[in-house]
């Protein structure tokens, strides 16, 4: 299995793989140049051969996540525009949550990479096909991205990772935490505590997503 001849050592790809594995096992806070290097059997400084310091490492990780976002459904002629946008929103959330630390990574820098622009373009195609003017389509495209990425960010901050079982466990935790609070001034929140405890949940995200899409497709 070891390749013959002069050993092909590593590539940037391997480094990013290692970085995501590290975050998966030890959390985003454990992400450091030194630990990624150690995991690959390298000294910290050797990592600079593959990646432009910590900033370059983070940039490459963002590109990896963004590159994994499926866009094909946005051009699916068999679906209505609303359906296409809903499928896309669900897929975007899933993709980002699947990458440990993905939300934090994306939201930490501007959305201006190649993949981000390709996503924007696909959304523009879909939204103009639904009858929006090009300028409104652009505004709506950004609003949709903001809603999905904002959801994912808050979900990740709350400890979620897209796994339904983990989602369930967190909901139970949050429900218990809500009971602790004094009810004065929070009557409504307490009364609908079951919903509040499940804010970071696939079903509730889907509910909000459908409403947001409806808002975007409304004739002004």
Q: Does 70 bind a copy of itself (CB under 8 A)?
A: no
Please report how close the Cβ of residue 10 comes to a copy of itself at its closest, in angstroms: 29
DSSP 2: P
**Residue 45 interacts with which of a copy of itself, DNA, none, CB < 5 to 8 Å by class:** DNA
Report how far apart, in Å, the C-alpha atoms of 19 and of each of 24, 48, 56, 98, 174 are.
9, 14, 12, 14, 30
Whether the CB-CB separation of 170 and 200 falls below 8 Å is answered with yes
Site for a copy of itself in 86-145 (CB under 8 A): 104, 107-112, 114, 117-118, 120-121, 124-125, 128, 134-135, 137-140, 142-143
Give the Cβ contact number of residue 120 at 10 Å.
16
The residue from 14, 76, 158, 179 that contacts a copy of itself (CB under 8 A) is 158
Binding residues for DNA, total number by CB under 7 A: 20
Supply 137's token pair. Answer: 């389509």
Provide the mask over 48-77, with x wherever binding to DNA is found by CB under 7 A and - wherever it is not. xxx--xxx----------------------
Contacts of residue 30, Cβ cutoff 8 Å, sequence gap at least 6: 22, 23
Q: Does 29 bind a copy of itself (CB under 8 A)?
A: no
DSSP 3: P
Q: Does 32 bind DNA (CB under 7 A)?
A: yes
Q: Which of 75, 78, 15 is nearest to 46 (CA)?
A: 15
Supply 149's token pair. Answer: 């990425």
The residue from 21, 154, 172, 176 that contacts a copy of itself (CB under 8 A) is 154
**Residue 33 interacts with which of a copy of itself, DNA, none, CB < 5 to 8 Å by class:** DNA
Q: Which of 210, 180, 178, 203 is nearest to 81 (CA)?
A: 210
Instruction: List interacting residues with a copy of itself (CB under 8 A).
Output: 104, 107-112, 114, 117-118, 120-121, 124-125, 128, 134-135, 137-140, 142-143, 146-147, 149-151, 153-154, 157-159, 174, 177, 181, 185-189, 191-192, 195-196, 199, 204, 207-208, 211-216, 218
């Amino acid at each position: 299995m070891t390749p013959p001849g002069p050993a092909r050592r590593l590539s940037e790809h391997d480094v990013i793989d290692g970085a995501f594995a590290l975050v998966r096992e030890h959390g985003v806070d454990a992400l450091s140049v030194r630990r990624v290097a150690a995991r690959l059997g390298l000294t910290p400084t050797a990592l600079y051969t593959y990646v432009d310091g910590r900033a370059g490492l983070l940039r490459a990780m963002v590109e990896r996540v963004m590159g994994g976002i499926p866009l094909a459904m946005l051009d699916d002629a068999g679906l209505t525009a609303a359906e296409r946008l809903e499928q896309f929103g669900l897929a975007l959330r899933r993709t980002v949550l699947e990458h440990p630390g993905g939300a934090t990574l994306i939201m930490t820098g501007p959305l201006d990479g190649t993949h981000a622009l390709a996503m924007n373009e696909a959304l523009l195609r879909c939204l103009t096909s639904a009858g929006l003017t090009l300028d409104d389509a652009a505004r709506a495209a950004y609003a949709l991205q903001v809603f999905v990425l904002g959801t994912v960010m808050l979900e990740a901050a709350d400890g979620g990772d897209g796994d339904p079982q983990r989602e369930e466990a967190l909901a139970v935790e949050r429900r218990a935490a809500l009971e602790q609070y004094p009810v004065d001034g929070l009557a409504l929140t307490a009364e609908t505590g079951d919903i509040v405890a499940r804010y970071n949940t696939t079903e509730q995200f889907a509910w909000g997503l459908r409403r947001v899409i409806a808002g975007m497709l409304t004739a002004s």
